[in-house]
Structure 1
Amino acid sequence: MCGRYATTADPATLAVELDALDETDHSAGVSADFNVAPTTEVLTVSLRRDRDDPQSAPRKRVRRMRWGLVPPWTKELGKGPVLFNARADSLADKPAFRTSFAYKRTLVPMDGWYEWQTEPLGGRKAAKIPYYLHSGDDTRLFMAGLWSVWRDPNIEDATPVLSCSIVTVDALGHLAQVHDRMPLALPADRWDAWLDPDHRADQALLEPVPDLFARIEIDRVRPLVNSVKNNGRELIEPDVDRAGEQISLL
C-alpha cells in the first residue's frame, strides 16, 4: 500500500534529467512536498505523441495529475472511492484500471513513502507509528502508475482532469515487516517498455526487482506525518528519541 509519500522532485529539473517536456504549470510556484496525500496533484512522467501531430514520435512528458484515478465514466468528481492504489494482480481485469493498464501507464517519482503500524499503549488507545521507506543512497524512486482522463459530463467542453494511481505488489523481504503491500518501483531499464503507449504491458513488467527493493531502508519517524497539515523535511528525519527501537513486528 502507498497512501502517503515524500518528493523533492522539481518538474523543470526532472524534465532535463529525463529529456522530457515540462508541461506543468509553474504559476503557483514549485516546492518539495514531504506529505503528499491522495486527491492532491502530483508529478508524473508519461510518454505521449503531440496532440496536433498524431504521427509524431512519442515524447516523455512531465505532468501534474490528481492522485486518485478517476475512471472516464465517473459522473461527479469526488464521489466514490479514491483509487490511489491499483493492485498489480488485478489491473487487467478491473474495469477502473484495465484500459489504463493497456494504454495509459505512467511513472510517479518520489523520494520515499510512509507506512504505519499499530502499537498498543498498555490499556490506552493504540498509537499509529509511522515509518519512512526510502532508497539507502537517497536516489529518487520511480513507481509504476496508471493514468486516466476525465471530463465533467455536465459541462460542455469541460476541462479534462488527468488523474493517476500507483501500482502496488506484495511486499518483499524486510519490507513485509512494515506492510504486506508496497508500491512497484521500476528500474530505468523498464521505463520505456512501461510507458510505451503503443504496446500493452507485459506481465513481466509487474515483477518487482529484488535488488532494487533490498536497498530500501526503513526509518521510524515522528508522528508529525500523521496530520496532512504538517509538511517539511523534519517529517522524514528518523525519530532520534526512538532510534534504538526496532520495528514492532521484528
Structure 2
Amino acid sequence: MCGRYAVTTDPAKLAAEIDAVNEVPPPEPAADLDAPDTGTADAQLTLDGAPADDPKPRPAFPNYNVAPTTTIMTVVARHSHDHPDDDPTMRIRAMRWGLVPSWAKEIGKGSLFNARAESVGEKASFRGSVKSKRCLIPMDGWYEWRKVEVPGSSKPAKVPYYMSPRDGTRLFMAGLWSVWRPRNAGPDAAPLLSATILTTDSVGPLTDIHDRMPLIMPFEEWDAWLTPDAPAPPELFDAPALALAEAIDIREVSPLVNRVSNNGPELLTPAG
C-alpha cells in the first residue's frame, strides 16, 4: 500500500521540470503583522486544513510526511477549454488525497487513498476515473511499515522504512482522479478534485518490507497513461519490472514518521 510519502519540490519547479502548465494557485502573500485581528484563526477548516471557503487549497512543500486527506500535487493531461481540438497538455493540479467519487453524497473520511491496480476497473468508485481521469502522483519516496516479531509479545512491532530512487530522481506513481460537487451547490461553487494512488504486488527486494507497493509509472508510458482520449493499455496496470524495483533504495528510518505532526528532513535520516 502507500499511506505516507515525501515530496520536496514546489508546483512551479515541477511544471518546469516536466514541461507542464502549473495550475496550482500561487502562495498567499505574507500576513501583515500590524493588521487588526479578524478572527480568521477560528475559521472552520476543511479535511485538508484549508479554510472552508477556500476553493483552491495549496499543497504544502516541502512535505516530508504527506498523509491522506491532505492536498497534494498531481499531474494530469487535459484539452484546453478554448481549443478542445488541440492535443492534451500536461498540467499540475492540486487535489485532495482520498478519491471522492462524483456520485458520492458526501466527502467521507479518505478511505479511498489507495486502489488495487489489478481490480480497479471492477470497482464502482473508480470505474469512471479509469476511463479518462488517470493521473500521476509525484514523490521523492514513500514510507512503509514492516512487521517485526517481538520476543515475548503476541503483537508484532511496525518498523518504518523509506523507499526512494538510488539516483535521486523523482518517482511518479499511477493514480486516478475525480471531480465531486456537493448536492444543491450553486453553479459557481468550486468542485473538489481528489485522487487515489494505485498499488500493486511488491516486486523484488520490496517484498521484504510489504506485500504491496505503489504502482510506479515509467516516463516512457506517461502519454499512454495520461491521455484522456483512449483507455490505458492493460499492461500499464501490471506490477513494475524487476529492474525498477531493484533501483529503489530501502532504508529503515526513525519512528518519528509515525506521527503526522512530525514533518522535517530528519524523517529521512537512516535509523541507528
Task: Assess same fold via TM > 0.5.
Answer: yes
Conserved 8 A contact 1:9-1:109: no
Counterpart of 1:32 in structure 2 is 62
Equivalent-residue separation in structure 2 for 1:181 and 1:127 (angstroms): 18
Cα deviation 1:202-223 (Å, max 9, x = unaligned): 1111231221111011100010
Match of 1:59 among 83, 89, 93: 89
More strand by share: 1
Equivalent-residue separation in structure 2 for 1:142 and 1:209 (angstroms): 15
Equivalent-residue separation in structure 1 for 2:3 and 2:85 (angstroms): 38
Counterpart of 2:266 in structure 1 is 234
Equivalent-residue separation in structure 2 for 1:126 and 1:26 (angstroms): 45
SS at match of 2:118: helix
Match of 1:171 among 202, 205, 230: 202
Quote how far apart the aligned CAs of 1:122 are. 3.5
Cα deviation 1:98-142 (Å, max 9, x = unaligned): 111110000000011011023344446643210001111121000
- Which amino acid counterpart does residue 34 of structure 1 have in structure 2? Y
- Which amino acid counterpart does residue 235 of structure 1 have in structure 2? L
SS at match of 2:235: helix
Q: Where in structure 2 are the equivalents of 1:14-53 lying within 5 Å?
A: 14-28=14-28, 31-53=61-83
Counterpart of 1:213 in structure 2 is 245
Counterpart of 2:212 in structure 1 is 181
Structure 2's unaligned 5+ residue stretches are 29-57
Q: Which runs of 4+ in 1 moved over 4 A?
A: none
Counterpart of 2:35 in structure 1 is none
Equivalent-residue separation in structure 1 for 2:182 and 2:86 (angstroms): 29
Identity of aligned residues (%): 53
Counterpart of 1:82 in structure 2 is 111
1:223 paired to 2:255? yes
Quote how far apart the aligned CAs of 1:226 are. 0.0
Equivalent-residue separation in structure 2 for 1:189 and 1:77 (angstroms): 34
1:100 paired to 2:129? yes
Counterpart of 2:143 in structure 1 is 114
Provide the alpha-carbon RMSD of the alignment: 1.5
Conserved 8 A contact 1:7-1:33: yes
Equivalent-residue separation in structure 1 for 2:192 and 2:82 (angstroms): 19
* Corresponding pairs, count: 239
Match of 1:134 among 164, 174, 177: 164
Conserved 8 A contact 1:169-1:182: yes
Equivalent-residue separation in structure 1 for 2:131 and 2:17 (angstroms): 27
Match of 1:190 among 221, 224, 227: 221
Equivalent-residue separation in structure 2 for 1:104 and 1:177 (angstroms): 32
Structure 1's unaligned 5+ residue stretches are 242-250
SS at match of 1:83: helix
Equivalent-residue separation in structure 1 for 2:113 and 2:242 (angstroms): 24
Quote how far apart the aligned CAs of 1:168 are. 0.7
Equivalent-residue separation in structure 2 for 1:188 and 1:9 (angstroms): 18
Cα deviation 1:145-168 (Å, max 9, x = unaligned): 000000011322231000000011
Equivalent-residue separation in structure 2 for 1:132 and 1:100 (angstroms): 29
Larger radius of gyration: 2
